[in-house]
């Protein structure tokens, strides 16, 4: 199971905290506005965390890590009530950490090698990722994820609906873009493709993606 980040779990309260993005709320301007961060993190993400905390009190989910709650609540597709809040809490934390001020550009090193191996070229990966993000109908997410099996280790582009994420299919998520309308409507209105291009060109933190790949490889080796 992928454990690619710390969830801010306070053992004494067994309550999840709303972790701030690793940059000030105006730091992604002009590509993602402060207003968007204020609503998206300060309202949407916050509400998922608060509602999750209320939901798990006194249940057997209390005390589990956020990722464990996501996988347990997914329940092979027959989702439990806490799935939506847990997965969205996880997804949004992962999303903030997928971006940085002055982001974009290209990855390097082993990550780039793997991308070129599995997609043919970096540009082809970008096209596939952008297409997945643009064609996820309604609400959802697009992902770059790592799958390690006995035979093979490979990268895949995945799109998912609403709160679903690749953890539930035993993938290691490496990168995500939120394509719920609330993620881009204030800045781009209906122009989702422009938002996705801006995300790729100006916001992606390839450092974060590389670090996650390293962790994933370590996990996979176990």
Partner 1 sequence: MALRSLALATRKTLTLGLNSTRLTQSRALQTFSLPDLPYDYGALEPAISGEIMQLHHQKHHQTYITNYNKALEQLHDAIQKGDSSTVAKLQSAIKFNGGGHINHSIFWQNLAPIREGGGEPPKGSLGWVIDTNFGSLESLIQNINAEGAALQGSGWVWLGLDKELKKLVIETTANQDPLVTKGPHLVPLLGIDVWEHAYYLQYKNVRPDYLKNIWKVINWKYASEVYEKESA
For the segment 162-181, give every residue that binds partner 1 (CB under 8 A).
162-163, 180-181
SS3 175: strand
- We find the least distance from the C-beta atom of residue 190 to partner 1, in angstroms, to be 4
Place of tokens 């992928």: 2
Helix 83-96 with 66-74: angle, nearest 10 deg:
130
- Check residue 185 for interaction with partner 1 (CB under 8 A): yes
Kindly report the number of other CB atoms within 10 A of residue 200's CB atom.
Answer: 19
Residue 217 within binding range of partner 1, rule CB under 8 A: no
Residue closer to partner 1 (CB basis): 79 or 148: 79
> How big is the site for partner 1, counted in residues (CB under 8 A)?
19
Among 77, 78, 138, 218, binds partner 1 (CB under 8 A): 138
Which CB sits closer to partner 1, 47 or 65? Answer: 47
Q: Pick from 21, 103, 107, 140: which binds partner 1 (CB under 8 A)?
A: 140
DSSP 19: P
Q: What is the CA radius of gyration of the chain?
A: 17
182 binds partner 1, rule: CB under 8 A: yes
Q: How many CB atoms lie within 10 A of CB 183?
A: 23
**d(C-alpha 189, C-alpha 157), whole Å:** 25
Q: Does 18 bind partner 1 (CB under 8 A)?
A: no
């Amino acid at each position: 199971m992928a454990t690619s980040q710390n969830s801010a779990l306070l053992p004494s309260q067994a309550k999840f905290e709303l972790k701030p993005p690793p940059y000030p709320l105006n730091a992604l301007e002009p590509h993602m506005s402060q207003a968007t961060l204020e609503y998206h993190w300060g309202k949407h993400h916050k509400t998922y965390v608060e509602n999750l905390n209320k939901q798990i009190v006194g249940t057997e989910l209390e005390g589990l890590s956020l990722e464990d709650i996501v996988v347990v609540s997914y329940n092979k597709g027959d989702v439990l009530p806490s799935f939506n809040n847990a997965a969205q809490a996880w997804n949004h934390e992962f999303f903030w950490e997928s971006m940085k001020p002055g982001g974009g550009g290209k990855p390097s090193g082993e990550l780039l090698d793997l991308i070129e191996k599995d997609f043919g070229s970096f540009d082809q990966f970008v096209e596939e990722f952008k297409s997945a993000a643009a064609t996820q109908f309604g609400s959802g997410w697009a992902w770059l994820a790592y799958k390690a099996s006995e035979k093979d280790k490979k990268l895949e582009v995945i799109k998912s609906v609403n709160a679903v994420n690749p953890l539930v299919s035993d993938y290691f998520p490496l990168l995500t873009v939120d394509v719920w309308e609330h993620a881009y409507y204030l800045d781009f209105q209906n122009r989702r493709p422009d938002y996705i291009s801006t995300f790729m060109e100006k916001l992606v933190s390839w450092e974060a993606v590389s670090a996650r790949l390293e962790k994933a490889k370590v996990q996979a080796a176990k």
